[in-house]
Amino acid sequence: MQQQLIESAFSASQASYRHVIDAGLGFSHRVARGETVRILDLEGNQAVDTLFYNANDPSERYSASDTVVAQQNLYLTTGSRLMSNEGNVLLTIVADTCGRHDTVGGACAAESNQVRYAIDKRYMHSCRDSFLLELAEHLPHMSKRDITSNINFFMNVPVTPAGALSFADGISAPGRYVELYAEMDVLMLISNCPQLNNPCNAYNPTPVEVLVFPRQGAR
């Protein structure tokens, strides 16, 4: 799938909900079927680790493998359908001014920080920590094993000819965004990545904003 740069049909003034996620923090929000959610990169090159669950049955959740197979592509852009582990469409990307979003880089964790960087990096805050805190608040019966492979919006993870992953400077910029239409009620979990050790956010975590737009007619 080629990059599909398509601007939103919404203006920010139409949003029914807005929230700025400070650098490095977690966030969660229920998005109703028919609503559209925008994730806005306020300052550019921020990595936004994101998970989605069926809000009415969280045993159904975003599946990276099913999504990659459905798109026949490792990267997401306008038109991409985010698939669940039950083969259903959770959300569809309907607008995108960045052009490519990662499905395989995963979320930073205490263990990966020490393996990739240094033993003393183990205690740095990580995206998995943020996801666990959000699960504890909204889905306390769930645990670490319920954190699946996530989407990294705005993150640049090229695959080398040998099949290895590399973490490169971002391709986003201030004001770029991705918009997703909810095909079912979903619980969205975000870790606004706190990573300081690779260039996924230019070594400088920055805020992002989430906007939700109400259903507009039939779809």
Tens digit of each residue's pLDDT (9 = 90 or more) over 152-171: 999 887 676 776 666 666 78
Q: Is 198 within a domain?
A: yes
Q: Is 12 within a domain?
A: no
Q: Is 11 within a domain?
A: no
Specify the pLDDT at position 19: 98
Specify the pLDDT at position 142: 87
Specify the pLDDT at position 118: 46
How confident is the model over 168-188, as pLDDT tens digits?
A: 667 899 999 999 999 999 999
CA–CA dist 52, 189 (Å, integer): 6
Dihedral Cα 85, 181, 6, 67, nearest 10 deg: 0
Q: Is 1 within a domain?
A: no
Q: In degrees, to the nearest 5, what angle opens at C-alpha 45 toward C-alphas 62 and 9?
A: 65
Print the domain residue range for 148. 22-213
Structural domain tally of the chain? 1
Q: Is 31 within a domain?
A: yes
Q: Is 187 within a domain?
A: yes
Q: Is 122 within a domain?
A: yes
pTM of this prediction exceeds 0.85: yes
More confident residue, 217 or 74: 74
Q: Is 3 within a domain?
A: no
Specify the pLDDT at position 86: 97
Specify the pLDDT at position 85: 97
First to last CA, the chain: 23
